[in-house]
Structure 1
């Protein structure tokens, strides 16, 4: 694994004025690629995600630990003038600011883009909103579930029009964080070229609608309004999950050659010349009939049998793993997507690693998530605050420094 100093963003300082998931996902990716991420937290509670725990979860919430490893926590009350002055001083020596407040909130506090760019003209300022920075809904707050529904994503997810489901993961939040990180890096490249900072904007709505490529294309082309099809693909058949005698498999007949192999493996070569299944369009038009035929054959053997047979014939296939099976699989470890991380309260835990490698090496140094205000004094001393100033700020309730009890 690469150390932080060897990573592409080494030396880049990020001020994270965001919480819960979308903004912290952006910060996590930037941190994994070498940036120093200073997480600004309210107190006493800190990032709301610190409270997102299930009954029985010990210590810090697992989701918070996942999204905030490698960051430094500074607890500041930005509602007070002295707290805002702290943010200004930190922004003056930072390269990037990320935030996910409602539109106008930071502007009203004097911490918006226009105010901070006067302090630091080279600053890359990234905002993640609910519905985007302009338009009639720009002032509304954003929530992953609501934006998945608004964008049409939930309307195409499920087993039918009366059985809609939300995708199991937080698509809007996670993708918004990824888009924000891409925007930040792109703006930083521009800064290296021109010396100028930039305003970067993305939103949960944009992040959700980006997931609609296939469905939007069909609508724009001929007005087709897609409906949910379970695990099936809107343009390819067979390309979905199927139940076997025990377990399930994902089977990909993504082209004519794979379709012919599937028919042969299932010992039904006559399907290849069946007029219902001759071409990809034919198979789409007769998807239900095709699904019934394939399901009937797969029900004769266990999933492990079919995976072995299909793989031996070079057919795209895989198991439908549960979370444990996916996290414990040796391939997951081989690509460093599951890594060991020190726990804030001692010992180690596991976390998802960075999904991007550089020069064949995983960019992850296993730094842990912080306690609220764990690095307040250290970071502010680096910014030029004296010990007396910090003691005074703490006594006034403007900053919080975590201390081991």
Structure 2
């Protein structure tokens, strides 16, 4: 296949991944203010989209980590090819959409890294991956950052609840709700500085691998611009299924908790971006919400939901890697293999979107109750809050078959 055509195909696929990253990760910033009523759903995603767009132009350190560090250079130059990147993106996109369909806030970042690693290992061998960069810039931040964010959110929530005690408690809660507008906006800005750069890095890596850009250089302005637009558009679409899980599934969020969680998420992401760590904003945001729940009362955290999210974190990188490895094996058959990958990917994408329409979640019902299904063994439901537990069960079992679980919409 002509190299220019392959590069163009990879760029388009990378921008589609950037789009899915946007709607997959909208919940990181806007789930809690939507849950507490600090922002209307449509207003929230609009603010997030604008600030993601702005944030994408503020730094390129994370993009350089991906384009110039994770994949080693061999004697003949960088060892990855546009075809491997194409296969890696397919694995990342498939995993992103699968977890979105289930309403699971998994890491788009780890899906991308897993996809690239799986494709490169099949195409060039384990030696093409730099273990030092993988460990220091990706794995360790992924393990440490959620705990740091949870700790900060725990302390901030304790302080916030002390402030809201006494005769002026009601007024203080109102101020925290207003403060959420500011802190959630900061999370959106921070998300743009970190996550949009990952796609910039992938496109830059593709251009370097194809010989269209010098090794060691950063993303060009047109790459920054199109990636910023793609993630902003995806954010505006709104990942309502994941917003519902993060906003109401992990814990019942009060304005004070939401403020504390968003502040800790922002601080952690911005620090990591400055250091060039390709952090998972999803893990940080979820860790912050869990920490805020613990700061209120450990019983307020629905640990079964948190456990399912934790399992999704653990399996994201290897699952995306496995999908990408299969795609790379097929792509190695030549142009027909690449075409088969593209057709299979498009088929799965259409299927998932059609499947999602059976139980639509949008801005009108994102904070509503979620029916519970008991016949799906792969989903374990948390203890429902009183408002749901006291509701009358549906009379017709067929209603429950439309949704996979309380936190899966």
* TM-score bucket of the superposed structures, by smaller chain: under 0.3
TM-score using structure 1 length: 0.27
| Structure with more relative contact order (C-alpha pairs < 8 Å, separation 6 or more) | 2
Identify, as 1 or 2, the structure richer in helix. 2
TM-score using structure 2 length: 0.27
Structure index of larger Rg: 1
Identify, as 1 or 2, the structure richer in strand. 1
